[in-house]
Amino acid sequence: MDLLELLKQRKSVRDFLDRPVERKKIMTCLEAARVAPSACNSQPWKFIVVDDRELKDKLCAGAFNGIYSINSFCKTAPVLVVVVSEKSRFLARIGGLFRGTKYYLIDIGIACEHFVLQAEDLGLGTCWIGWFNEGAVKSLLGVPESKKIDILIALGYYDKDKIRSTHDREPLENITTFNSY
Ligand SMILES: Cc1cc2nc3c(=O)[nH]c(=O)nc-3n(C[C@H](O)[C@H](O)[C@H](O)COP(=O)(O)O)c2cc1C
């Protein structure tokens, strides 16, 4: 598919079909994430794929309770990908401190978007999830307390007819200038 067409087709999916996702497709999405660029080529990420139904249900119960329950729609997703933010290379960390820029978050963002776009191309829907109980996720999956989990990705098949056709975005003229602010 034409890239721009794919970018426009992708929308957040919050209602997934009860259909398992093939491991091969998940691996292709992970491969897309793996080749993402990152500051100083730090690759500051680890992906924990939760596709075991029982474990995923437990994960959802812990991650999306109380103030996080707005995201309990994730229960319908057959797969949850937990993205662990790993330490960047020394140079990226020092550069980031100097610049006041969290390069690792930019890196994670790119890798996750690679994942999400590859998924869309394979006919799979996704939703980025930034609002969840991080402690519950860590303890259930044995992620050390010292690590940071900034984002999860819900993944699964979806009904394309139920997805709105347009993006709600600012027009280009509101966000773009040439040659000065
Ligand atoms: C970093 C990040 C965190 C997000 N967290 C959530 C979330 O916790 N729950 C949710 O339903 N959507 C979440 N989203 C999805 C956004 O709400 C969504 O991308 C945005 O409204 C634009 O809609 P679209 O993805 O359909 O184009 C998140 C997106 C990003 C990029």
DSSP the chain: --HHHHHHH--B--SB-S-PPPHHHHHHHHHHHHT---GGG---EEEEEE--HHHHHHHHHHHTSGGGGGGGGGGG-SEEEEEEEPPPPHHHHHHHHHHT--HHHHHHHHHHHHHHHHHHHTT-EEEEE--S-HHHHHHHHT--TTSEEEEEEEEE-B-GGGS-SS-----HHHH--SS--
pLDDT of residue 90: 92
pLDDT at 71: 98
For the CA atoms of 107, 119, 132, 147, the dihedral, rounded to the nearest 10 degrees, stands at: -40
- Which tokens go with 107? 């890196």
Nearest CA to ligand 1 atom 22: 12
CB 76 within 8 A of CB 15: yes
- Which of 8, 127, 132 has most ligand 1 atoms within 8 Å of CB, for mutation? 127
Identify the residues whose C-beta falls under 6 Å from ligand 1: 11-12, 14, 71, 127-131, 151, 167
Question: What pLDDT is stored for residue 163 in this prediction?
Answer: 87
pLDDT value for 169: 96
User: What's the pLDDT tens digit per position in 96-115?
Assistant: 999 999 999 999 999 999 99
Q: Which pLDDT does position 15 carry in this prediction?
A: 97
CA of 155 to the centre of ligand 1 (A): 13
pLDDT for residue 128: 98
At 164-173, the pLDDT tens digits run: 888 899 999 9
pTM of the predicted structure, to 2 decimals: 0.97
Q: Burial-class residue 176 by CB neighbours within 10 Å (0-12, 13-18, 19+).
A: exposed
Regions of the chain where pLDDT drops below 70: none
C-alpha 180 to ligand 1 mean position (Å): 30
Ligand 1 atom closest to residue 167's alpha carbon, by position in its atom list: 27
pLDDT at 114: 98
Q: What is the largest CA-CA distance in the chain?
A: 54
- At residue 167, the pLDDT reads 86
Residues 6+ apart with CB under 8 A from 179: none
**Which amino acid residue places its CA nearest to atom 29 of ligand 1?**
128
Q: Ligand 1 pocket check: which of 7, 12, 117, 151 to mutate, most ligand atoms within 8 Å of Cβ?
A: 12
